[in-house]
Structure 1
Amino acid sequence: MKEHHNDSRTTNFKQSWFWKQIINNKVVSVLLVSLLIFFNIFMLGKISGIFQPIEIVLSIVGPPVVFSTIFYYLLNPVVDWLEKKRFTRNTAIAFVFSLIILLIIVGINFIVPIIQRQLESLIENWPVYWNSLMVQLDELLGTEAFTGFMDKMSETSLIDNLSGQASGFLNVTVGGIGSFIGTLTQVGITLFTTPFILYYLLKEGDKVPDNILRVLPTKIRGNMREILEDINKQISSYVRGQLIVAAAVGIMFWVGFSIIGLDFALTLGIFAGFMNLIPYLGSFLAMIPAVIVAIVDSPFMLVTVLVVFGIEQFLEGRVISPQILGNTLKIHPINIIFLLLVAGRLFGVMGVILGIPGYAVLKIIVSRTFAWYQKYSGLYEEQDLTDYSELIKKEDNR
């Protein structure tokens, strides 16, 4: 009798206006969930101080882990290939490490001195190059706007420098020393710990997913394994491809600038390779110092530099990137540009470099989580769910 009474009350509640209009309303449910999410974000902002120790730990541990992961994705195929050639895993890792040390020694003895001389000359002559560029722009446009602007900037900066040195010398000095020591310590920790982390990743990297899954509930291990496999596949392809393309771009610029006789060819080529790690914008940013040097040299040199840039862009866009990268992350170019702007504003240079693979990881997690939510929430049509699952499978098979 009591159970029948409870069932009757439950039925009446589900037929009430409160159930129909509030509890069982999809719009209201979405609004409530959104409200809870924003409330949690607001509260986390208010208690952000308790996360400062975590931030300090991540700032110390993060760089060596990131660099070790990058080198792992780059070197792991080489170690696997050597292992197939009847090397033991440890012997293959030792051989790769020995090769890296040899390349570092060669670079320090032969390449670094050339870069050092070119950098010193470029930095020493940069004011001359810049002033000459302003004069030529004024002559081209028939105005004195650029030279006048530079004169005002030099006067302003002189006054600001004198007043700043008079007022804040001690604070700047103490802060600079503290910042220098902190940076030096961070660099030392990164250089010391990265080889050890890289060694264990190369040796036991394939066991990392199993170690992560071991601490998760059994029911979600299957889905989590798929997520980890997708993340590993996309990030490894992106990291290897991006580094190979950057190296190819640097070599092409170096060879091209050397052929046309541009000053600082090696330094500008290496700079172009590093800048190419920034998608879409890197090559154009790398051309700025090369164009300035070429303008100061002669109009003919400017034309040849632009020809080198056009040939490089053609080879990179039509041959190298499609063969090596393809459409690895399946991210629209507009999204990439906005992502670079936001990540650069929030996290600086590392945000620009790591923002895109980080976004790819979040995209995989969100898409898989949304597919799981569609399946178990019952709020979506079965046909829509089937179409979305087929869409995910098609994207995975590309």
Structure 2
Amino acid sequence: MTESQRWFFLIFALVMAGLVYLLAPILSPFLVGALLAYLSDPIADRLEAAGLSRTTSVIIVFIAMTAIVVMMFLLFIPKLGMQIQLLLERIPQAISLFENQVLPWLMSTFSLEASAFEFSNLKSILIGDLQKTSDIMAQLLGGLTRSSMAIVAWVANLVLIPVVTFYLLRDWDVMMDKVKRLLPRNIEPKVSLWARECDEVLGAFMKGQLLVMVALGVVYAVGLWIVGLDLALLVGMIAGLASIVPYMGFIIGIVVAGVAAFMQFQDPIVLGYVGAVFIVGQMLEGMLLTPLLVGDRIGLHPVAVIFAIMAGGQLFGFVGVLLALPVAAVIMVLLRHLHEGYKSSSLYASEHKNDTEQSEPVVNDN
């Protein structure tokens, strides 16, 4: 890369970052549409390879995505909202159960003093916060209904997402080819290699790990529903989302589900059923879901994913959250090549050579 090309790409990156910062309030539907198009492009490519035209393939994929979204809004979202409300109502009951049954056992077993535990203030504060949360939601909904511009903005964003998704998905391959042709010829092979590696990283996570998370959420929710837990859908989705970090979903899910099941049934036997659900889910993840959906592809490290999402949200809000994973993938690929360049550079080789020379014995000619 020449000096002028370095300055050009540096200035281009700074301008793009500035535009993202300035245009963040209107970028959300476009980024969501681009994300959906990226995730569904392999399916459209397979349909196109089977003999269908690109437009027909995109229409089929688009109808399938629309059906899934509509089904979620009609079936799962209302049920999930009801379970969240039920959870908020049961939190004070959980504190009372701990205070009246678990705490006396702890005090008698470990010889603890009652003054070390004071739950009356905690309960009053918690109930007050839950009431404030309800008031805040009511004020927020009231403000949205009073502001016609806010409603128009929300409706416009919701309408834009499927429109942007459709057109980006239809022209995805054409746009990628045009971007490739715009690259300077001397750096195009290297950039194309980096782009393929970034796609591999994103594909391993977004097209693999996210599917594993959704599948685990469904497995946990169905298993807990068979057990009879009222909060089966909510706990299952929480455990599935927490599976972004290995074993975190299992730990969080089994603890939350165990507490919820004990509160609902007051029977220790049910805890065994809950444990069996999560053990089966963990076995399915290790033996079926991860090998099938992720395989041996290299994805983003879970800690890197969490940090990227939090950093993106802190810097650019919701737009930063949407951009976090692609930017993290690019940074990971660049760091990998930087590490390889360092290992083959004179800086690393000279240090190794000096250490070798110092370790060689000195031969005395005398």
The two structures have a TM-score, normalised by structure 1, of 0.65
Q: Does 1:266 align with 2:233?
A: yes
The residue correspondences of 1:317-396 to structure 2 (distance < 5 A) are 317-329=286-298, 336-337=302-303, 340=306, 343-344=309-310, 347=313, 358-369=327-338, 371=340, 381=349
Provide Cα deviations, 1:161-204, integer angstroms capped at 9, x if missing partner: 9xx9xxxx9xxx89x959x9799787555423322332233112
Shift of 1:231: 0.9
Aligned length: 320
Partner residue of 1:56?
22
Matched with 1:237 is 204
* Match of residue 14 from structure 1: none
The 3 A distance-change label for structure 1 pair 193 and 244 is: same
Shift of 1:92: 1.7
Task: Work out which of the residue numbers 292, 295, 308 in structure 1 matches 2:262.
Answer: 295
Matches within 5 A, 1:1-398: 54-61=20-27, 63-142=28-107, 143=112, 148-154=117-123, 188=155, 190-296=157-263, 297=265, 298-329=267-298, 336-337=302-303, 340=306, 343-344=309-310, 347=313, 358-369=327-338, 371=340, 381=349
CA distance in 2: counterparts of 1:159 and 1:330, whole angstroms: 43
Superposition deviation, residue 366 in structure 1: 2.8
- Give per-residue Cα distances to partners, 1:95-125, cap 9 Å, x unaligned: 2222233333444444444334433333333
The 3-state SS of whatever aligns with 2:298 is coil
**Quick one: structure 1 residues 67 and 138, their matched pair in 2 at CA, closer, same or farther if it must change by over 3 Å?**
same
Residue 159 of structure 1 deviates from its aligned partner by: 9.5
TM-superposed deviation, 1:361: 2.2
Distance 2:126 2:210 in 1: 39
Identity, in percent, stands at: 25
- Which stretch shifts more, 70-79 or 209-218? 209-218
Matched AA of 1:362:
I
Is the alpha carbon distance of 1:53 and 1:74 closer, same or farther for their aligned partners in structure 2, counting shifts above 3 Å? closer
Aligned-partner SS, 1:87 = coil
Instruction: Give CA deviations for 1:23-42 in whole Å, capped at 9, x if unaligned.
Output: xxxxxxxxxxxxxxxxxxxx
RMSD after superposition: 4.2
In 1, are the aligned partners of 2:202 and 2:299 still within 8 Å (CA)? Answer: no
Residue 60 of structure 1 contacts residue 186 of structure 1 at CA under 8 Å; is this kept in 2?
A: no
What amino acid does structure 2 have at the position aligned with 1:344? Answer: M
Q: Which amino acid aligns with 1:365?
A: L
Alpha-carbon offset, residue 353 of structure 1: 8.8
C-alpha deviations, 1:271-303, integer Å up to 9, x for none? 333333455434433444322211213212222
Show CA shifts across 1:330-367 (max 9, x none). Answer: 666xxx43763575366369788975664332121233
Please state whether the residue corresponding to 2:229 is helix, strand or coil: coil
**Counterpart of 1:230 in structure 2: which amino acid?**
E
CA distance in structure 2 between the aligned counterparts of 1:117 and 1:100, rounded to whole angstroms: 25
2:242 maps to amino acid: M
* Mapped partners of 1:112, 1:54: distance in 2: 31
Structure 1: gaps of 5 or more residues:
1-43, 45-50, 385-398
The answer for the alignment partner of 1:25 in structure 2 is none
Consecutive unaligned residues in structure 2, runs of 5 or more:
1-13, 353-366
**Cα contact 1:260–1:304 (8 A) shared by 2:** yes
Q: 2: distance between equivalents of 1:284 and 1:127?
A: 23
Deviation at 1:254, TM superposition (A): 1.8
Structure 2 CA distance, aligned partners of 1:361 and 1:146? Answer: 54
Q: Is this contact kept in 2: 1:344–1:352, CA < 8 A? A: yes
Report how far residue 312 of structure 1 moved. 1.2
> Which structure is richer in relative contact order (CA contacts within 8 A, separation 6 or more)?
2
Aligned to 2:11: none
CA radius of gyration, larger in: 1
Instruction: Give the 3 Å change call, closer, same or farther, for CA 213–73 of structure 1 in structure 2.
Output: closer
Other structure's SS at 1:80 match = helix
| Secondary structure, counterpart of 2:183 in structure 1 | coil
Is the deviation greater in 245-254 or in 146-155?
Answer: 146-155
Query: Structure 1 residues 148 and 379, CA, compared in 2 at 3 Å: closer, same or farther?
Result: closer
CA shift at 1:133, angstroms? 3.4
